[in-house]
Amino acid sequence: MLTQRQVRLAWLLVLPTLLVAVLVAGYPLAQVFYWSLFRADIAFVEPPEFVGFKNYLYLLQDPDFRQALWNTVKFTVFSVSLETLLGLAIALVIHSNFKGRGLVRTAILIPWAIPTVVSAKMWQWMLHDVYGVINILGVKLGILSQKVAFLARPELVLPAIIAVDVWKTTPFMALLLLAGLQLIPEELYEAASIDGATRWQQFWTITLPLLTPALVVALIFRTLDALRVFDVIFVMSGVNPATRTLAVYNRQTLIDFQDLGYGSAISVAILVLIFLFVVAYMRTLGREALQ
């Protein structure tokens, strides 16, 4: 019963959402594309000058951009793979039956509930080179031979931030995987036990294949988040080149350097990168998993 009136009502109801989409995504994005072809500062102190693709050409040889890209890739690979492994382990633990399971599930929601800025500050305090509890405990327990300035040493600062991100985001991963685990029918395991399969064999032949769809979805979500990471990096080490990711570098160019033209070109590059990732991911992993 598709009446003219219903179609008109549907359009009317969707219209506000579409308007908002145009206002906060479409129009700003068009501006970003447009200004990426100009040499312009964000306050228009100088009149903007059309330069074509010069900003993009510069981007290809900009060592700071390359470093930011590399930092983003390192952050994404390490953070996502660590939290996947840890999340899977935690999901498996919570999935099994034991007293106080609900309590544990509640406990792991806490890091997720804490704002990223707050968790960054908390860890900054815990990682403090002199008064941080990690240094004090580490030395006392003999894990560290001496106190370490985790956030000041160039080779340690990115790993430290990755550890903080893993702490904050693993619960989300664990919950998604737990939901996936709960969809696997119990009978499969019973049948496998009767056939004499060990726990390990059951994990590889039942759990992992059936968990793949949930795993793929969770991986896509987390990787997208990691590729655009800003908060935890910016709060914990600012615009330090050793940790500066694409998003941090992008904001620095746009706001601190007031460079609207080049900053917009970086924004477009990030958008393209994320778009390519979504397409590639869907193609390789997504297709088989989503069938």
Partner 1 sequence: MRTWLRLGNRLLFYLLVVFVVVYSVFPFYWAVISSFKPSDALFASDPNFLPLPFTLDHYKNVFLQANFGRNLLNSVVVAGGATLLSLVLGVLGAYALGRLPFPPRNAVLYLVLAMTMFPQISVLGGLFMLLRQAGLFNTHMGLILSYLLFTLPFTVWVLVGYFKGLPRELEEAAYVDGATPLQTLVRIMLPLTGPGLVTTGLLAFIAAWNEYLFALTFTVGDKVKTVPPAIASFGGATPFEIPWGSIMAASVVVTVPLVVLVLIFQQRIVAGLTAGAVKG
Footprint (CB under 8 A) of partner 1, residues 41-80: 42
Tell me the window of 31-39, 55-63, 75-83, 188-196 that interacts with partner 1 (CB under 8 A): 31-39
Q: Which of 77, 107, 239, 276 binds partner 1 (CB under 8 A)?
A: 107
| Smallest distance from partner 1 to CB 248, Å | 9
- Which residue shows structure tokens 């737990």? 178
Distance CA 76, CA 70 (A): 10
Closest CB to partner 1 among residues 192, 273: 273
Tell me the window of 6-14, 54-62, 154-162, 187-195 that interacts with partner 1 (CB under 8 A): 6-14
Interacting positions 195-254 with partner 1 (CB under 8 A): 214, 217-218, 221, 224, 227-228, 230-231, 234-235, 246-247, 250-251, 254
| Smallest distance from partner 1 to CB 109, Å | 5
Q: Within 10 A of 178 (CB to CB), how many other CB atoms are there?
A: 21
Interacting positions 132-161 with partner 1 (CB under 8 A): 133, 136
Closest CB to partner 1 among residues 60, 140: 140
Closest CB to partner 1 among residues 119, 158: 119
Q: Does 176 bind partner 1 (CB under 8 A)?
A: yes
Q: Which of 165, 255, 279, 286 binds partner 1 (CB under 8 A)?
A: 255
For residue 72, give the nearest of 233, 189, 193, 188 by alpha carbon: 233
Interface size with partner 1, residues (CB under 8 A): 90
Tell me the window of 15-23, 50-58, 75-83, 204-212 that interacts with partner 1 (CB under 8 A): 15-23
Closest CB to partner 1 among residues 31, 284: 31
| Smallest distance from partner 1 to CB 75, Å | 14
Closest CB to partner 1 among residues 108, 161: 108
Q: Which of 76, 161, 268, 286 binds partner 1 (CB under 8 A)?
A: 268
DSSP code at position 41: B
> Would you call 91 exposed, middle or buried from its count of C-beta atoms within 10 A (0-12, 13-18, 19+)?
buried
Closest CB to partner 1 among residues 122, 184: 122
Q: Does 279 bind partner 1 (CB under 8 A)?
A: no
